[in-house]
């Protein structure tokens, strides 16, 4: 059996990039394959996530792009080393 090789021909890559694909994470259809990385960059910011200290049942939930800012202010996260 032959080894699989990546496609490097511009003509074929351009044809593949025009295929419409579906984002399974957001169930969004009609995204051109060539634009999928841009779609992911935009959508990842809107993913909802929880506080990273769920072991103490802290209720914060927000968008993923807000998590870093939140964690820098989270008092529970700051005292976590003392609690461990």
Query: pLDDT tens digits for 32-50?
Result: 999 999 998 888 878 887 7
Name the phi and psi angles at 80, rounded to 5.
-55, -45
Tokens of 25: 């994470």
pTM (global) more than 0.85: no
For residues 32 and 18, the answer to whether their CB atoms sit within 8 Å is yes
Sequence ranges of the domains in the chain: 10-44, 48-83
Bridge-partner residues for 52, per DSSP? none
> How far apart are alpha carbons 79 and 5 in whole angstroms?
51
To which H or E segment does residue 38 belong? helix 36-44
Residue 51 pLDDT exceeds 80: no
Report the residue count for the chain: 84
């Amino acid at each position: 059996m032959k080894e699989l090789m990546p496609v490097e021909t511009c003509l074929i890559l351009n044809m593949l990039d025009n295929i419409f694909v579906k984002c399974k994470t957001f169930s969004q259809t009609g995204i051109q394959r060539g634009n999928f990385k841009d779609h992911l960059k935009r959508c990842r910011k809107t993913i909802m996530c929880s506080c990273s200290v769920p072991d103490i049942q802290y209720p914060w939930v927000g968008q993923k792009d807000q998590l870093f800012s939140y964690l820098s202010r989270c008092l529970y996260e700051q005292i976590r080393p003392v609690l461990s």
